[in-house]
A and B are shown apart, each in its own frame.
Chain A
Amino acid sequence: RKEVEQDPGPFNVPEGATVAFNCTYSNSASQSFFWYRQDCRKEPKLLMSVYSSGNEDGRFTAQLNRASQYISLLIRDSKLSDSATYLCVVNPRGNTPLVFGKGTRLSVIA
């Protein structure tokens, strides 16, 4: 089982739609979780950290379910500018390198 697995893309959604991505991780001792956004041929950028209690930043909501070892990202009222690849990222054991999923590609269509 891969350390971090994500929904295969692409997700093609109309503007204004709500879309959700899921991600599972294999190491139950993993400590930190993140969502990064990567535009085509550009560098990844931190979108948001994911906390046990869940957290929200505008139209974006991240949730962590430790019991089931999955992380989710919900985007409400999708904009054309949300089109990108969303990378699920896990820090497996504290002071260790981040492990990235393959990413899920989102295309928001007018």
Chain B
Amino acid sequence: DAGVTQSPTHLIKTRGQQVTLRCSPKSGHDTVSWYQQALGQGPQFIFQYYEEEERQRGNFPDRFSGHQFPNYSSELNVNALLLGDSALYLCASSGEQGRNEKLFFGSGTQLSVL
């Protein structure tokens, strides 16, 4: 039973570029949440998707957008990258028994913006 998988594991971009991160949820889960974790900080909630719609959103600008596909996988897109976007991006999946509580995290994508 595959857990949550994320790709790529590492990414280096320059300011102003755009990036797409991908996530496949754990088998049986239909909800994907994205978190940003800067160095020395706790994860910060970006947004959550289920039934292919954004259901909840944290305090992030519109440069951060996402999508969920019919197979429940999800993408996080960040436009016009800033140096401050450098962080570990974590995807967490959950099911209807605990969309906001029983989270299983992927190993993350480490994004470096130069």
Contact = CB atoms under 8 A, between A and B. Distances in A.
The answer to whether A binds B is yes
Interface string B85-110: 00010100000000111110111101
B100 A43 contact: no
Contacts, number: 48
B105 A97 contact: no
The bracket for how many chain A residues form the interface is 20 to 34
A29 interface: no
B33 interface: yes
A42 interface: yes
Contacts of B40: 102
A95 interface: yes
A87 B92 CA distance: 15
B74 interface: no
A44 interface: yes
Nearest to B99: A95
Contact of B42 (A41, A45, A46, A102): A102
Nearest to B47: A97
A97 B41 contact: no
A98 interface: yes
A96 B88 contact: no
B100 A95 contact: yes
A96 B35 CA distance: 14
A85 B2 CA distance: 25
Contacts of B108: 42-43
Interface in A40-77: 41-46
Interface of B: 33, 35, 40-45, 48, 56, 58, 88, 90, 99-103, 105-108, 110
Interface of A: 4, 32, 34, 41-46, 87, 91, 94-103
